Amino acid sequence: MKLLSFLTAFLLSFPNLRASQQLSAPASSSSSQATTMPTTKPPQRDPQALGVLNQVLATSGGVTAFTAIQDFTASGTVTYFWAGEEVKGSVNLRGRGTDQFRIDASLPHGIRSWAVSNGTGSIKEMDGTSQPISYYNATNLGSLTFPYFAIMAALQDSTTSVADLGLMQVDGRQVRQIHTRRQLDALNDTQAIFSELATRDYFIDPTTYQLLKVEDMAHPAQSLTENYQHEISFSDYRLVGGVLVPFTISETIAGQQTWTIQLNQISFNTGLTDSDFQI
C-alpha cells in the first residue's frame, strides 16, 4: 500500500456517504421479510469491564466532574507527518459531546481545518479548497482528543456491549483491553456494518487506570468494509479543573503515524454552539 493511503489528509477527504444512499436494502414482500428477518442477541455488558471503565472515570476526575463538562477549547502545537516530512504549526481544538470536534492548524503554507458534527463534516485545505468527510469516518471523530465523553456514553447506553479482553503487552507495557460495540437494531443494520463502525477498544494502564490508547477503524471511500486500524494515543496527563487531561495526543493509521498534538492549555464550558463546528 502507498503511504498516502494511511494519511489522515487522505482518509478525511473521501466523498461524503450517507447510510441511506449506500446501504438501502432491496424491497421485499412481507412474507419474505417474515422468513429472513434478522435476529439480534442482547448486548453483553461484562460487569468487570464496566467496573474498569468506571474506574477510569473515577481516577480521572469522577463522573460528576465529567457530567458538568459540556464542551472544551484547547490550543497547542501540531506536527503532521506527510510523506516523510514533518510539518509543524500551531493548533486550536474544539469539542462538544461525543459527536462534535474541530481542528484548525496554522501551518507554514496556510490554515488547514476540519470539523465533524453529528456524523457529517468537511475539511478545508491550505489552498482554500473544501471537501466533505465521509460519514463512516466522521462517525468516530467526535471529541477526538478528549475520550471521556465516549466512555461515559458506553457506560450509560444499554445497547453497547462492553467486554474485558484481559491483560496484554502493548508497546512493551502491560495494559488491559476493554472492547465496546454499540449494537444497532438488526432491522436497520442487516449486515452489522454500522454496529462495526460503532466499535472501539480502550487500552488502560491496570495500575493507574489512565487511558493509554483508543483503537477503531478508518475506511477509504472505495469500500466501507475495507478497514485500516486507527489509533489515538494519550500521554502527559495533567490536572485541569479537577480532571486529568492528556496533553500529548498522537494519531496512527495502519501503523503509520500521521500527527502529534502537544497541548498548551485547555478550557471547559466555553459556550460552544453548532456553528463552531461548521467550516
Domain holding 93, by residue range, is: 3-13+42-269
**How many other β-carbons are positioned within 10 Å of the β-carbon of residue 145?**
22
Residue 50, in any domain of the structure: yes
- Give the pLDDT confidence of 137-156 residue by residue, as tens digits: 777 788 789 999 999 999 99
Residue 74, in any domain of the structure: yes
What's the pLDDT at 193? 55
Burial 59-92 (b: 16+ CB within 10 A, else e): ebbeeebbeebebbbbbbebbbbeeeeebebebb
Is a pLDDT exceeding 50 seen at residue 272?
A: yes
What's the pLDDT at 30? 35
If DSSP states are collapsed to H, E and C, what string results for the chain? CCHHHHCHHHHCCCCCCCHHHHCCCCCCCHHHHHHHCCCCCCCCECHHHHHHHHHHHHHHCCHHHHHCCCEEEEEEEEEEEECCEEEEEEEEEEEECCCEEEEEEEECCEEEEEEEECCEEEEECCCCCEEEECHHHHCCCCCCCCCHHHHHHHHHCCCEEEEEEEEEEECCEEEEEEEEEECCCCCCCCCCHHHHHCEEEEEECCCCCCEEEEEEEECCCCCCCCCEEEEEEEEEEEEECCEEEEEEEEEEECCEEEEEEEEEEEEECCCCCHHHHCC
Is pLDDT larger for residue 40 or for residue 231?
A: 231
Residue 21, in any domain of the structure: no
Is residue 227 within 8 A of residue 219, CB to CB? The reply is yes
Nearest-angstrom CA–CA distance, 263 and 215: 21
What's the pLDDT at 155? 96
Q: Give percent of the chain with pLDDT exceeding 90.
A: 66
Is residue 154 within 8 A of residue 109, CB to CB? The reply is no
What's the pLDDT at 269? 97
Nearest-angstrom CA–CA distance, 145 and 250: 9
- Give the pLDDT confidence of 120-137 residue by residue, as tens digits: 999 999 999 999 887 777
> Residue 260: which CATH number?
2.50.20.10
Residue 125, in any domain of the structure: yes
- Give the pLDDT confidence of 7-41 residue by residue, as tens digits: 444 444 333 333 333 333 333 333 333 344 444 57
Nearest-angstrom CA–CA distance, 139 and 64: 26
Is a pLDDT exceeding 80 seen at residue 240?
A: yes
- Give the pLDDT confidence of 213-229 residue by residue, as tens digits: 999 988 776 666 678 89
The model carries a pTM of 0.82
Residue 243, in any domain of the structure: yes
Residue 260, in any domain of the structure: yes
Residue 127, in any domain of the structure: yes
Nearest-angstrom CA–CA distance, 98 and 71: 10
**How many other β-carbons are positioned within 10 Å of the β-carbon of residue 192?**
15
| Distances 24 to 28, 36, 187, 249, 269 between C-alpha atoms, Å | 12, 16, 11, 37, 39
Domains contained in the chain, number: 1
Residue 34, in any domain of the structure: no
Is a pLDDT exceeding 90 seen at residue 278?
A: yes
Q: How big is the chain by its Cα radius of gyration, in Å?
A: 19
Nearest-angstrom CA–CA distance, 211 and 40: 31
Q: Is the dihedral of CA 197, 198, 199, 204 positive or negative?
A: positive
- Give the pLDDT confidence of 68-77 residue by residue, as tens digits: 999 999 999 9
